[in-house]
């Protein structure tokens, strides 16, 4: 017998420390939804930090492969390895959900190396496979969804986070943008806003049960609008929302269900 309550608490603490925004979004969700959100978000914390924990690319690849093997166990229906995150994850994922998260890991291999994105399509694919697949896996595990709606919202959420992270990525020696000039950043942010607006126009295609998985998009619109209006804020790290406005916005969207 495994300690699901203890595992869930461990996942929640991992998310609290490693991904404060998703922790806040999960805490704004109904209690039942947190049983799904915290294991999936904890998985994302573990995978997203793996490429940054070593300078040895082979070691980073091995760490990511460990998670791919765990997902393969879940997808195949065999007994998954005992682990604080893997064990509760196995209770909530079906084979399609595991496949979504496996594709996320493959996309995260870009983080190991210092090569720039090949083109706009490569950056779009990276954001869709990371942020989009994560949101879709969580939403599917909660209820009925239209995958294209979730992917639009997930892309916009990922882009907003990506733009906030530009200074840190550049300090780490990465090349996160194909065109870091103001016009290039503005065009990128405008594209994200269009996809976010398109997703919100189709909110009805997301079941009430699945909506908590999209709460994490609560800040995306404001961040992308600031990047559109003042693209110079990206390099300066000036896209961070104010704490009070952010909290009020999350509370309002949580109560209304209008992610």
Cα 217–chain centre separation? 10
| pLDDT score at 78 | 87
Confidence of residue 5 (pLDDT cuts 50, 70, 90): confident
Report how far residue 142's alpha carbon sits from residue 150's, in angstroms, rounded to the nearest whole number: 13
Can you tell me the mean pLDDT for 33-49? 98
d(CA 106, CA 1): 32
**pTM for the whole thing?**
0.95
Mean pLDDT, the chain, as a whole number? 96
Q: How far apart are CA 68 and CA 99, in angstroms?
A: 9
Mean pLDDT of 107-122: 96
């Amino acid at each position: 017998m495994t300690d699901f309550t203890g595992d869930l608490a461990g996942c929640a603490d991992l998310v609290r420390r490693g991904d404060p925004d998703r922790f806040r979004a999960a805490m704004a969700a109904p209690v039942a939804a947190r049983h799904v959100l915290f294991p999936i978000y904890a998985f994302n914390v573990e995978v997203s930090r793996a490429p940054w924990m070593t300078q040895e690319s082979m070691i980073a690849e091995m760490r990511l492969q460990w998670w791919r093997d765990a997902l393969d166990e879940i997808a195949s229906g065999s007994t998954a390895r005992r682990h604080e995150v893997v064990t509760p994850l196995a209770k909530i994922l079906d084979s399609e959900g595991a496949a979504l998260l496996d594709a996320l890991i493959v996309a995260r291999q870009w983080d190991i190396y210092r090569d720039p994105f090949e083109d706009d399509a490569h950056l779009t694919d990276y954001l869709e496979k990371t942020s989009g697949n994560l949101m879709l896996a969580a939403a599917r595990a909660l209820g009925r969804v239209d995958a294209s709606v979730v992917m639009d919202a997930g892309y916009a959420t990922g882009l907003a986070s990506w733009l906030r992270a530009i200074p840190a990525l550049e300090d780490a020696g990465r090349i996160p943008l194909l065109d870091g000039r103001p016009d290039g950043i503005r065009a990128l942010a405008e594209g994200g806003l269009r996809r976010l607006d398109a997703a919100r126009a189709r909110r009805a295609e997301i079941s009430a049960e699945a909506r908590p998985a999209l709460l994490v998009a609560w800040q995306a619109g404001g961040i992308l609008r600031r990047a559109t209006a003042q693209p110079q804020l990206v390099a300066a790290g000036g896209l961070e929302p104010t704490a009070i406005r952010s909290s009020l916005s999350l509370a309002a969207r949580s109560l209304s269900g209008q992610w």
